[in-house]
Amino acid sequence: MAGEGDIKLLGMVVSPFVVRVRMALHRKGVSYEYVEQDLFNKSELLLRSNPVNKKVPVLIHGGKPICESLVIVQYADEVWSGKGASIFPADPHERAVARFWAAYVDDKLFPAYIGIMKAATEEARAEKAKEALVVLANLEEAFAQCSKGKPFFAGDSVGYLDLAVGCNLFWLEAIRKMFGVTFFDVGKTPLLAAWAERFAGTEMAREVVPDADTAVVFAKKLQARFGSNTSAK
Amino acid sequence: MAGGDDLKLLGAWASPFVTRVKLALNFKGLSFEDVEEDLSNKSELLLSSNPVHKKVPVLVHNGKPICESVIIVQYIDEAFAGIGPALLPSDPYERAIARFWAAYVDDKLVAPWVQSLRAKTEEEKSEGLKQTFAAVETLEGALRECSKGEGYFGGETVGLVDISLGSLLSWLNATEVISGTKIFDPVKTPLLAAWMERFSKLDAAKAALPEVDRVVEFAKKRQAQAAAAAAASETK
């Protein structure tokens, strides 16, 4: 396939957005050179490839950079449309629903769980945990609607929304370990709890998702660096 | 228009996000029912169509709701792929660039600008404006790259980014009337200033964008309400 040989992914091991892209590339069966970035000492290549936001992930395909994880995932699905598995459904309404929930995850779930980690007081932490649980309750509804009784958001196999949500699971586990927050209560969000286990068990997740402990170590490093009044266990 | 398509837009005339959807529908040449919502008394249809955010715009197509303006624009482009011009280019890389800049408009331009309009302190306001102007400068560069010498972010024709940014024009003009500040300064950002003029002249834009005078009145009333609320809370 044209240009397939020249694919680089600039990433950072515990970034859920990078993990999201790695999952997408796995689904497409595309091989690439992974280049780990030090976000406290950004490389020339990163700054040149993403001058606007200076963030990872950046996919560099045939020398051309693509930024923003959800944009990269859509790009991968389109440019390698003949390869591997389809990430997006074909139906425009289903696509719109998948995009809606993916945007929701980034706007509401990510800030909530990062907020748990960064909270300076127990009250602030509890507030953020409450927010995260509201989001997960909505995602339980979304799962029921989207999956229509099948194992994944996208149906029989993982798709766009599975990747959008699933890339955050290892961080939720890390935060559970650090602060004792239960995100997936089988009593409250049974479908999501079952999906989370199923998702973590996929070959793709086992290959691409880092261990939750890696995130714990990283979080502790951040806390040490920036200082936090409440310490994790 | 495709036979049997029922398009309803649940909106509010002053919302640039609603304008965004109207622009897309107009550029595609699609007719739709324009339903004005009273945001202080939201309709059953709105609440059941967007239970998560309860916001406008919502496009209801043959009874199925689609929410979030940028998602709606992409939906319109995909669901009506054979009708009117394409709003996204066909090349995957160019599509990625368009999606990137459309997200940038909302995250880096609209967000701080709204912050400056709603600011309660001078400090908040000037920080918001600083970030807004920084984003505008970046968008000038984006327009230069994306237009490739033509008139629009989409090249020769209007695309997703033109629609995303264009939806803000009445508010940009209103801000100039109220505060005297030009957000697209013709000296600092000549391409954007020219683009704004060019875009505003398009029939599809004229039909979608609210009248600037109306927006000015609306903004002033909102500011007065916010000031009154702030004064009232201070006297408690």
Predicted confidence (pLDDT) per residue in B110-148, tens digit: 999 988 888 888 899 899 999 999 999 999 999 999 999
Q: CA–CA separation, A222 vs A151, rounded Å?
A: 36
Distance from CA of A4 to the nearest CA of B (A): 14
Q: Check pLDDT > 70 for residue A1.
A: no
Half-sphere exposure of A107 (CA within 13 A, CB side): 13
User: Which residue type sits at A192?
Assistant: L
- State the SS3 of B165-231: HHCCHHHHHHHHHHHCCCCCCCCCCHHHHHHHHHHHCCHHHHHHCCCHHHHHHHHHHHHHHHHHHHH
Residues A145 and A47 in one domain: no
Q: CA–CA separation, B185 vs B175, rounded Å?
A: 13
Beta strands in A37-181 (DSSP E): 58-61, 64-67
Which residue on chain A is closest to B71 by alpha carbon? A96
What is the arithmetic mean of pLDDT over A34-53? 95
Spell out the domain ranges in chain B: 7-80, 92-215
The H or E element spanning position B11 is strand B7-11
Which pLDDT value is given to residue A2? 46
Residue A232 in domain: no
Contacts of B95 in chain A (CB under 8 A): 74-75, 78
- Assess contact for B161 and B104: CB atoms under 8 A: no
Q: Of the candidates A80, A104, A137, which is a domain's last residue?
A: A80
Using the structure block, give the residue that is written with the tokens 């940014």.
Answer: B165
Instruction: Residue B146: count other Cβ atoms within 10 Å of its Cβ.
Output: 21
What is the arithmetic mean of pLDDT over B151-172? 97
Please tell me whether the peptide bond between A57 and the residue prior to it is cis, using omega within 30 degrees of 0: yes
pLDDT single digits (tens) B75-116: 999 999 999 999 999 999 999 999 999 999 999 999 999 888
Residues A17 and A54 in one domain: yes
Q: Of the candidates A57, A80, A103, which is a domain's last residue?
A: A80
Which pLDDT value is given to residue B3? 52
Which residue on chain B is closest to A64 by alpha carbon? B93
Residues A57 and A131 in one domain: no
- In chain B, the percentage of residues whose pLDDT exceeds 70 is 97
Q: Check pLDDT > 60 for residue B236.
A: no
Sign of CA dihedral A116, A119, A123, A127: negative
Domains identified in chain A, total number: 2
Which pLDDT value is given to residue A3? 46
pLDDT single digits (tens) B173-217: 999 998 888 999 999 999 999 999 999 999 999 999 999 999 999
Please state, rounded to an integer, the average pLDDT across all residues of chain A. 94
Residues A154 and A207 in one domain: yes
Q: Of the candidates A46, A80, A114, which is a domain's last residue?
A: A80
Q: Cβ of B99 and A71 within 8 Å?
A: yes
Residue A18 in domain: yes
Q: What angle do CA A158, A160, A165 make, to 5 degrees?
A: 85
Which of B75, B92, B100 is opposite residue A96, by nearest beta carbon?
A: B75
Cβ neighbours for A145, distance < 8 A, ≥ 6 positions apart: A97
DSSP letter (8 states) at residue A85: -
Using the structure block, give the residue that is written with the tokens 């994790």.
Answer: A232
pLDDT single digits (tens) B40-64: 999 999 999 999 999 999 999 999 9
Residues A27 and A58 in one domain: yes
Q: CA–CA separation, B24 vs B61, rounded Å?
A: 14
Per-residue DSSP letters for B36-86?
E--TTS--HHHHHHSTTT--S-EEEETTEEEESHHHHHHHHHHHTTTSS--
Residue A162 in domain: yes
ipTM of the complex: 0.94
pLDDT single digits (tens) A86-96: 999 999 999 99
Q: Check pLDDT > 90 for residue A227.
A: no
pLDDT bucket at A233, cuts 50 / 70 / 90: very low
Residues in chain A, total: 233
Which pLDDT value is given to residue B47? 97
Q: Check pLDDT > 60 for residue A178.
A: yes
Residues A162 and A63 in one domain: no
| B contact test, residue of A4, A66, A80 with most B CBs within 10 A | A66
Q: CA–CA separation, A78 vs A88, rounded Å?
A: 9
The CATH number covering residue A141 comes to: 1.20.1050.10
Residues A101 and A178 in one domain: yes
pLDDT single digits (tens) A44-97: 999 999 999 999 999 999 999 999 999 999 999 999 999 999 999 999 999 999
Residue A228 in domain: no
Q: Indicate the Cα dihedral angle B141, B116, B161, B77, nearest 10°.
A: 170
More confident residue, B2 or B20: B20
Which pLDDT value is given to residue B193? 97
- Assess contact for B162 and B152: CB atoms under 8 A: yes
Cβ neighbours for B100, distance < 8 A, ≥ 6 positions apart: A66, A67, A68, A71
User: Which tokens is B97 given?
Assistant: 């660039």
What is the arithmetic mean of pLDDT over A114-135? 95
Contacts of A138 in chain B (CB under 8 A): 52
Closest CA to A26 of A188, A214, A163, A212: A163
Which of B75, B100, B103 is opposite residue A92, by nearest beta carbon?
A: B75
Which pLDDT value is given to residue B120? 83
Residues A112 and A205 in one domain: yes
Q: Which domain holds residue A141?
A: 92-221
- Assess contact for A54 and A42: CB atoms under 8 A: yes
Residues A61 and A143 in one domain: no
Residues A125 and A181 in one domain: yes
Residue A2 in domain: no
Residues A34 and A58 in one domain: yes
Cα B100 to the chain's mean position, in Å? Answer: 16
Interface of A with B (CB under 8 A): 52, 61, 64, 66-68, 71-72, 74-75, 78-79, 92-93, 95-97, 99-100, 103-104, 138
Is the CB of residue B92 less than 8 Å away from at least one CB of chain A?
Answer: yes
pLDDT single digits (tens) A180-203: 999 999 999 999 999 999 999 999
pLDDT single digits (tens) A144-163: 999 999 999 999 999 999 99
Which of B72, B75, B95 is opposite residue A78, by nearest beta carbon?
A: B95
Please state, rounded to an integer, the average pLDDT across all residues of chain B. 94
User: Which tokens is A222 given?
Assistant: 């951040």
The CATH number covering residue A31 comes to: 3.40.30.10
Residues A205 and A178 in one domain: yes
Pick the CATH number of B92-215 from 1.20.1050.10, 3.40.50.2300, 1.10.10.10, 3.90.1150.110: 1.20.1050.10
CA-to-CA separations, B52 to A87, A104, A138, B67, B122, in angstroms, rounded: 24, 9, 8, 10, 33
Superfamily of domain B7-80: Glutaredoxin (3.40.30.10)
Q: CA–CA separation, B98 vs B144, rounded Å?
A: 13
Residue A85 in domain: no
